[in-house]
Every structure is written in structure tokens, then in C-alpha cells.
Amino acid sequence: MFNIIKMDLYKMFKMRSFYVVNIIAMVSVAIMLLFVVVDADKTDLKGSNATTVYEDKDQNVKLGVDVDDSQLLGTEQNVLTIYSSFMSSGFYLFLSVIFTMIFALSENKNGYIKNIGGQVRHRWQLFVSKLTAIFIYIFMFDLILLVVQSVIWFIAKGNFGAGSFSEYVTFIISQFLLQYVFVIVCTAIAIITKSRVFSMTAAVCLSFGMGKLACMGIDAGIYKLLNREVSLEKYLITTKISTMLPNMDMAQIRNIIVFAAVYFIVSVFAGIISVEKRDMV
């Protein structure tokens, strides 16, 4: 099992797309952060006298990447505040899922799955190994972007201004958890369908909020047929990511953990079944 994980990690780090996606992400984050810093300077906010006030986020349908800067108004800006806003925007989710889809389906192109599939005792180890490699990638991806933002902030402001880590640690971990689970769901779709075009399109559309439009259509159909109002949008991972606030209580944290666990268990179960029954000859 450990050797399979090492092979997956080796394959991941040897992929050109790994470095291309990361470089694009770092450059994009640097540019976005500079714009945020410039816009914030124009507002002439007095951070030393400000208090942080969080309001419930609007749950209207928003497509694409939407950086919510409402947290920056009336509060002292710092790296973690802006980093959290970028995580909630879906930007990290979008870029990380692109490479993950390329990585998940690369084995079908280079013949790796055929060469190694018949040599392992249990095929589910191939899927678990992939999940482990993806976890390491998501952790590295988010950490690299945090470092990039800290460096750009230091260049622009002359100080690191990290802010209160204890205030944001739960929020960042929860965002990371949901980001990882979303990527696992997309990976399971890719493994099951074995279609690069379909899985990549589905992953990008879901990360851009197209799932909310589908939920609205289903909600309208249920209301028309059963005369019953439902809201499926609140069960989407992207909805949880975009509406999460830093000042969560224990009940909200527990709900997020249970929510993520359900998605994770179902995705892993479906992925393992698909791998076990796949014809690798």
C-alpha cells in the first residue's frame, strides 16, 4: 500500500500540469491580492479602532468565482482575512479540481492502471492511494497559496500582518475539509465514468456554481408536481463553502463534519466499487 502511494506521488510530481496549475494559481492569487490591497487602501479604513462583525452571507445564485470582501469592511485587514475570503470564493476549489481531474484520469492515458492493476492484491488500494495523494496535493496547494499571499502582503504593506490565527483556524480547516471532499466527489465521478471530457466539464461547472441552477430547476419541478417547497441548494458542498463564516459555534462545526463525512463515505464507496469491477486487462 505504501509503495502504491509513493508511485502515485511520484507520478503526480512528475506531471507537467502539476507545476503549470500551481504557477497559474500563484500568479493569479498575487494579482488578486494586489487589487484587494489597493482597493482597501482607497477606503481609508481605520483598522486599529475597528471591530470584526460577520453577517450571514447572501445565498442567491452566483456563478463563477466571487470574492466576498464584506469581511474586509469595518475590520482590520490581514493575511488570514483575505485568505479566508479567497477560500470562500471558490477560486482555490476551481484551480485544485482542474489538476485533480487531470491526475485522476492520467492513468487511463499512460497505461499505468493496466500495468499495476493486476499486481495488487486488492484493487481498492489503488483508489485509496489516489485519495491519499490528492489529500497531500490539496494541503500543499492551500499552503503554497497562503505563503504566496503572506509574501505579497509583506511586499505591499511592509509587514506580514497575519492576524489572529486562533480566530480563523477552525474556518480554514473546515474550508480545507470541504474542498478535499468536493475534489473526492469529482474524482469518484471521473473514476466511474472514465471520461476525461465529461468529468472535467462536470467538475468545472460544479465548482463554478452550476449545481445551484440544477437544484433550482429540480426544486421548481418538485413544487409543480407535489406542491411542496424544497431547497436542495443547501445540500451542495459549494453552498457550504461560499456561505461559511469564521465565527462558527460547535454545532455548526459538527454539522459541517457530518455533512462532509456523508459525501466522503458515499464517494469512496462508489469509487472502490468501480475500481474493483473495472476491467484492467
pLDDT at 58 over 90: no
* Residue pLDDT, tens place only, 4-50: 888 888 888 988 989 999 999 999 888 888 877 766 555 544 444 44
In degrees and rounded to multiples of 5, residue 121 shows phi and psi of -75, -40
Residues 6+ apart with CB under 8 A from 43: 73
Residues 6+ apart with CB under 8 A from 55: 70
Residue 279, amino acid: D
pLDDT band at 177; cut points 50, 70, 90: very high
Low-confidence winner among 112-121, 168-177, 271-280 (lowest mean pLDDT)? 112-121
The burial of 15, by beta-carbon neighbours within 10 Å (0-12 exposed, 13-18 middle, 19 or more buried), is given as middle
Distance between CA atoms of residues 237 and 240, nearest Å: 5
Widest Cα–Cα separation across the chain: 67
pLDDT band at 161; cut points 50, 70, 90: low
The pTM for the full model equals 0.82
Q: Which pLDDT does position 39 carry in this prediction?
A: 62
How does 202-232 read in b/e, with b if 16+ C-beta sit within 10 Å? Answer: bbeebbbbbbbeebeeebeeeeeeeeeeeeb
Q: Which pLDDT does position 119 carry in this prediction?
A: 61
Residue 120, amino acid: V
